[in-house]
Structure 1
Amino acid sequence: MPDTIRSLSTTGLTPKSQIQRWSDALTDLCGRFDVDPLEGTSFDGRINYTLMSRLKLCQIEASQHRIAHTLARSRSTEHPYIKILFQTYGTSYFEQDGRHIEIGPGDCLAYDVSMPHTIVSPALTRHEVVIVPKELLQERGFRLDKMVACKLSARSGTGRIAHDVAHAAFDEATKLSPHSAVGVAESLIDLLLLPLREADAMFDRGGPEAIYIRAQAFIREHLRDPDLTIDQISAALGCTKRYLHMVFSDRGMTVSDYIWRARLQHCRQELETQSGKTITDVAFSWGFSSSSHFSRVFRKYFGVVPSAVHRAAAR
């Protein structure tokens, strides 16, 4: 028998039940996550998903929210999946291991679900997702030990082909026999691997992706330094400031944007876990020099003021 399309919605539930329903749904799909509706009075989410052989194909729509797979959760649960996410509406902000990636319509994001990460969506978003067991990629010789989260284009080339086939596979999943479903799933995995292998090869050649990775590592090591500058970073990497600007610009941000976003992520983590520190102490320890500026950019990025996060942690 063909597999069915399963649907889930938070419509009609109380705000607390909406968050629990969404958390339970994510747990069933790929693991345990913390869910935060930001400043929304309610959370509206819908998931349609189906199985195709060992792949999970999903279409997801959600109002403003933040999900986080924390270090604590990564130690207590298993997330043996790679997620391939095709953004179709809205903008989301992904963070993992110091990497900050903005995702918009036409972008594809591939990442290891088992590693701690957060995704912030300040407004309504829609995306189509293929959840792939790691073993299926390992069987094809893909080196997961080297994999870092990467943004690819689904507007053209292999990325577009992979998205088109993933979309069609979801639409036709219920009409396939079990034997055909296995064949389509195998072909889809191979297609999904094409843009991933291209990105992997580009990294191995030491091009812009390698510079980007090295820049992130240097920034992480010096993130608390309020005097961290682009001059320092480019000098440490042995490249020009112009080239460094280009590398970050190609990923939709400036070097300064990346630094401030990384600092904000660390500040939020400390506010959530170290209630004994004041907001000013946390902000200044991560390179901010003005409490008012910190509060303003924190709210702009997360959709909530730092005092609200601090109060919630103290309860």
Structure 2
Amino acid sequence: MPDYVHSLSTSGLTPKKQIQCWTDALTELCGQFDVDPLDASSLEGRVNYTNVSRLKLCQIEVSQHRIAHPLSRASTSDHPFVKILFQTHGASHFEQNGSHFDLMPGDCLAYDVSCPHTITSPSLTRHEVVIVPTDLLQERGFHPAKFPAFKLSARSGTGRIAHDFMHATFGEATRLSPQTAQGVADTLIDLLLLPLREAGASFDRSGPVAICERAQAFIHDHLRDPDLSIDQISMALGCTKRYLHMVFSERGITVSDYIWRARLLNCRQELETQCHKTITDVAFSWGFSSSSHFSRVFRRHFGVVPSSIHKAHHPAQDDSAQPPPA
């Protein structure tokens, strides 16, 4: 079933209970923090949040305050998240590992929640936040512990695209099926990573997931090369052939099979759409060097011979090639 929007407000509580309520809300979202209302007599806060697959999307409004994740509480296992924070109202000051950022409306901040930090807001602020489990980012070759916090712009470019998509996702979250939510979450993560990549955030280019993605991209860029081989791929990626074999075998396929399957899919697409090309033209243009080998592996993969696909989609052309009846 789709998730629903959770809401929490400190309105109407005593000052002491307001602080406890806000502390509990933060703990529910991403870990334990110290909350200080500064010199204010109360802490007026409201948060709405929902889950989209494994992501938490939040809309937060709170009066002047400071939150701190001190060194005494620093434990990666307690805060295994990266927070992508979009400032939409007011001003905030962020500190982490000697870095200082002033945040204004239109700014975006990405940081590792497990690392000690403080956020100070001297007046009312509003944030829209995506809380991402670090393991989802690591699957994409991204290791948040290897880079400092990044301040980005969400006023234009990829930052704005990511924010607009996140905002729309929050509004539609309760209408998403679990299967759709998974796809939306994957898209949102990829969009959020775009401005981080542009900003030069550190990515693990040698981890197995990153190597697999780079290998697949290289393969698709060189599919038409009949000499494409694992030697060529491993040399381009700067890894050993053994490591490359291991990365693909963990996904239930060999490098060679991945190449041939990709070629066959492209061949079938052209047989269905390119009526002016012969079967041999198609096969040779996608790296096959033998018509008989192409027909054999095509039939093994799709269960039909290439000529039947070509004839089914271009019957007039095939008929015209036949001699007229006597």
- Matched residues in 1 for 2:83 and 2:188: separation? 14
Equivalent residue for 2:175? 175
Give, in angstroms, the shift of residue 111 of structure 1.
Answer: 0.2
Higher relative contact order (CA 8 A, sep 6+): 1
1:93-119 Cα deviation digits (max 9, x unpaired): 000001010000000000000000000
Q: 1:159 to 1:19 in 2, by over 3 A?
A: same
Q: 1:41 to 1:135 in 2, by over 3 A?
A: same
Equivalent residue for 1:56? 56
SS in 1 for 2:16: helix
Equivalent residue for 1:151? 151
Give, in angstroms, the shift of residue 129 of structure 1.
Answer: 0.1
- Structure 2 portions without partners, runs of 5+: 204-326
Superposed, which structure 2 residues align to 1:184-199 within 5 Å?
184-199=184-199
Is the Cα–Cα contact under 8 Å of residues 142 and 202 in structure 2 kept in the other structure? Answer: no
Q: 1:13 to 1:81 in 2, by over 3 A?
A: same
Q: 1:77 to 1:22 in 2, by over 3 A?
A: farther
Equivalent residue for 1:124? 124
Superposed, which structure 2 residues align to 1:45-124 within 5 Å?
45-75=45-75, 78-124=78-124
Count of residues in Structure 1 that have an aligned counterpart in Structure 2: 204
Equivalent residue for 1:4? 4
Give, in angstroms, the shift of residue 40 of structure 1.
Answer: 0.4
- Matched residues in 2 for 1:138 and 1:62: separation? 32
- Structure 1 portions without partners, runs of 5+: 204-315
1:131-167 Cα deviation digits (max 9, x unpaired): 0000000000113232210100000000000000000
Superposed, which structure 2 residues align to 1:1-315 within 5 Å?
1-75=1-75, 78-200=78-200
Give, in angstroms, the shift of residue 77 of structure 1.
Answer: 6.2
1:225-264 Cα deviation digits (max 9, x unpaired): xxxxxxxxxxxxxxxxxxxxxxxxxxxxxxxxxxxxxxxx
- Matched residues in 1 for 2:144 and 2:119: separation? 21
SS in 2 for 1:118: strand
SS in 1 for 2:24: helix
Is the Cα–Cα contact under 8 Å of residues 86 and 106 in structure 2 kept in the other structure? Answer: yes
SS in 2 for 1:170: helix
Equivalent residue for 2:310? none
SS in 2 for 1:50: strand
Amino acid at match of 1:10: T
SS in 1 for 2:186: helix
Give, in angstroms, the shift of residue 202 of structure 1.
Answer: 9.6
Equivalent residue for 1:218? none
Larger radius of gyration: 2
Is the Cα–Cα contact under 8 Å of residues 88 and 128 in structure 1 kept in the other structure? Answer: yes
SS in 2 for 1:32: coil
SS in 2 for 1:31: coil
Is the Cα–Cα contact under 8 Å of residues 55 and 133 in structure 2 kept in the other structure? Answer: yes
Identity of aligned residues (%): 71
- Matched residues in 1 for 2:95 and 2:151: separation? 12
Q: 1:202 to 1:80 in 2, by over 3 A?
A: closer
- Matched residues in 2 for 1:143 and 1:20: separation? 33
Give, in angstroms, the shift of residue 76 of structure 1.
Answer: 9.0
Amino acid at match of 1:27: T
- Structure 1-normalised TM-score? 0.63
- Structure 2-normalised TM-score? 0.61
Give, in angstroms, the shift of residue 199 of structure 1.
Answer: 1.1
1:257-308 Cα deviation digits (max 9, x unpaired): xxxxxxxxxxxxxxxxxxxxxxxxxxxxxxxxxxxxxxxxxxxxxxxxxxxx
Amino acid at match of 2:122: P
Q: 1:149 to 1:76 in 2, by over 3 A?
A: closer
- Matched residues in 2 for 1:202 and 1:144: separation? 7
Give, in angstroms, the shift of residue 201 of structure 1.
Answer: 5.9
